[in-house]
Copies of this chain bind each other. A is one copy, B any other.
Amino acid sequence: MDIYGGEVNRLIEELSRLPGIGPKGAQRLAFYIIGMPEDQVEALSSAIRQAKQNTRYCRECCTMTDQELCPICASKTRNHRLIMVVENPRDLAAYEKTGKYEGVYHVLHGAINPAAGIGPQDIRLKELLLRLHEDCDELIIATNSSVEGEATAMYISRMVKPAGIKCTRIASGVPVGGDLECADEMTLLRALEGRVEL
């Protein structure tokens, strides 16, 4: 029996399309939304529509922004000769939060993943190559340390090294403040390989 009626079901269905939201979570969210004051519901609904309509990719670094150039690429205080390559805008946000990185970014919007049919042409690599025609002191590859992230890092380094561009990879190892016994074997081995002299 259809216990809620069409509109509620439609909302549950739309919400459960979102990543990380299962059928139960969608139900919970739907009832919460229906119970919210009307102006808040309107704000949510229009924020979704507006963000989609007014967001584009930064002409330079391909992150999402509402200007032609994102605030970082438009900034004159950043070092535009230092480019950090990340998989997505959330990774960019994570590094921005450290407040210590002074270069600019390049957002790939994904990583090479042959198993999922995502090849080099499906992520923003062409845009990265076009940027490298300008002066670039160093390309820091900060893709995730997953299989896909590593493959992408390897691909990029092979692609840009012939042009004589310095290409580095962020370190992987035991997280700061993390327990050694909680780290997986791969991480422990990486931390060992990447050891530095004190």
Instruction: Please give the residue numbers on chain A whose beta carbons come within 8 Å of chain B beta carbons, in ascending order.
Output: 1-8, 10-11, 13-15, 17-20, 24-25, 27-36, 38, 40-52, 54-55, 63-67, 70-72, 75, 88-90, 92-93, 96, 109
Contact = CB atoms under 8 A, between A and B. Distances in A.
A160 B169 CA distance: 70
A88 B30 CA distance: 12
Contacts of A66: 4-8
B41 A4 contact: no
Contacts of A4: 63-66, 70, 89, 93
A54 B6 CA distance: 10
A159 B64 CA distance: 57
Given A45-B48, A47-B14, A71-B1, A34 B55 contact: yes
Contacts of A46: 45
Contact of A3 (B42, B43, B54, B92): B92
Q: Is the interface of A mostly helix, strand, loop or mixed?
A: helix
Q: Which of A30, A45, A90, A92 has the most CB atoms of chain B within a 10 A radius of its CB?
A: A45
Nearest to A65: B5
A54 B7 contact: yes
Contacts of A2: 71
A90 B49 contact: no
